[in-house]
Amino acid sequence: MEPRLDALADPVIGKVFKHLVAAGRPVAESTLPYVTQELVKLRASQINGCGFCVDMHTKDLAAAGQDATRISLVAAWREATVFTDAERAALELAEQGTRLADTAGGVGDEAWENAARHYDEDQLAALVATIALINAFNRGNVMLRRPGGDYRPGQFAS
């Protein structure tokens, strides 16, 4: 599959993606655990069918020391025993925040309250920002048909 545009070279989408990366810096600097951030990004990317981002976040989790079992079970996290209660709450929030059109009212109170039991207000804000940003990246990449497979961990580190 060939991408429709070169997302990094195109002056418009390239600049937008750079701004999205910059918008994610406060999340990277937050106390929300890095692995939780990556699990959430991977799950949203799986739901959205973004091969580029699934490739990226799978490899970034592996580079962060996560074992193959945890990574491969993200898609079936409800039936897996390898995630903490806090990670499960974040994954539920990510799913509901990604599938907004599937239910009236978007994210349910139960999912939000469960996440709030595990994360403080700043971490919740970081979760919301992470979910919003990865969905923006996913949608752009899917429309552009950016393929997965060639990502190297840390490739976009500044």
Longest dimension (CA), the chain: 45
Coil vs helix vs strand at 26: helix
Domain ranges of the chain: 34-144
CA–CA dist 145, 105 (Å, integer): 30
pLDDT at residue number 8: 83
State the average pLDDT over residues 103-116. 93
Coil vs helix vs strand at 132: helix
More confident residue, 158 or 36: 36
Residues 47-106 pLDDT 10s: 999 999 999 999 999 999 999 999 999 999 999 999 999 999 999 999 999 999 988 888
Residues 135-157 pLDDT 10s: 999 999 999 999 999 999 988 87
Q: What is the CATH number of domain 34-144?
A: 1.20.1290.10
Q: How confident is the model at residue 1 (pLDDT cuts 50, 70, 90)?
A: confident
